[in-house]
Amino acid sequence: MKMKLKQRLVFGITAFLCTCFVIGYIFIYQSQAYLDHQILSLDGVNSRFNLQNMVQIGAGNAAILNNETSIDGGAQNGVLLRRQLNKSLSKSGGNRTRERKAADNVYGGKTNNGGEFSKSSAKQIKLLKSENLNRTRVEKSRERHIAFEPGKEAFRVISSVHKQPANLPEEGNFYNIPHKYPRISAVPVQNRSRLEALFRNFNASYQVPGESGKRDQLVRFVYKSNNKKPKIWEKFQLGISRYEIYSYNNSLIDDLLKYLGEANIKKAEEKVGGTQVKLSLTFLDDGGALMKPWRVPRDYETLPDHFYFSDIERHNAEIAAFHLDRILDFRRVPPVAGRWFNLSSDVYFKTDEALRKTFFRSPANNLCFVGHCSYYCESETAVCGKPDVIEGSVAAFLPAFSQIPRKTWRHPWRRSYSKHKSATWEHDLTYCTRLVMKKHPYNSGRRLLDLMDMSIFDFLIGNMDRHHYETFDHFGNFTYPIHLDHGRAFGKHQTDEISILAPLFQCCILRRSTYERLVLLSTDQYRLSDLMRESLSTDLISPVLFEPHYAALDRRLRTIRKYVDTCFAKASSRDDVLMPEPRIEDYKDPLFNDKEDDSEVDDDDFDF
Active-site residue (options: 329, 346, 388, 465): 465
The total of other beta-carbon atoms located within 10 Å of residue 162's CB is: 12
Angle between helices 119-143 and 2-40 (to 10 degrees): 30
How many angstroms separate the CA atoms of 98 and 91, rounded? 10
Helices (H), 243-294: 251-262
Q: What phi-psi label fits residue 290: left (phi over 0), alpha (psi between -120 and 50 degrees) or beta?
A: beta
How many angstroms separate the CA atoms of 577 and 572, rounded? 9
Q: Which amino acid is at 177?
A: I
Q: For the chain, give me the number of helices (H) and strands (E)?
A: 16, 14
Helix, strand, coil % in the chain, rounded to nearest 5: 40, 10, 50
Cβ pair 503, 510 in contact under 8 A: no
Q: Which helix (H) or strand (E) holds 361?
A: strand 359-361
465 as an active site residue: the answer is yes
The three-state secondary structure class of 340 is strand
What does the buried/exposed string (b/e) look like for 270-297 if buried means 16 or more CB atoms within 10 Å of the residue's CB? Answer: beeebbbbbbebbbeeebbbbbbbbbbb
538 CB-near residues (< 8 Å, 6+ apart)? 192
Angle in degrees, CA 445, 449, 453, rounded to 5: 150
Strands, E, within 473-596: which ranges? Answer: 510-511, 578-579
How many angstroms separate the CA atoms of 328 and 87, rounded? 50
| Whole-Å CA distances, 533 to 79, 188, 335, 558 | 41, 9, 17, 18
Strands, E, within 236-329: which ranges? Answer: 265-270, 279-283, 288-293
Q: Which residues are catalytic?
A: 465
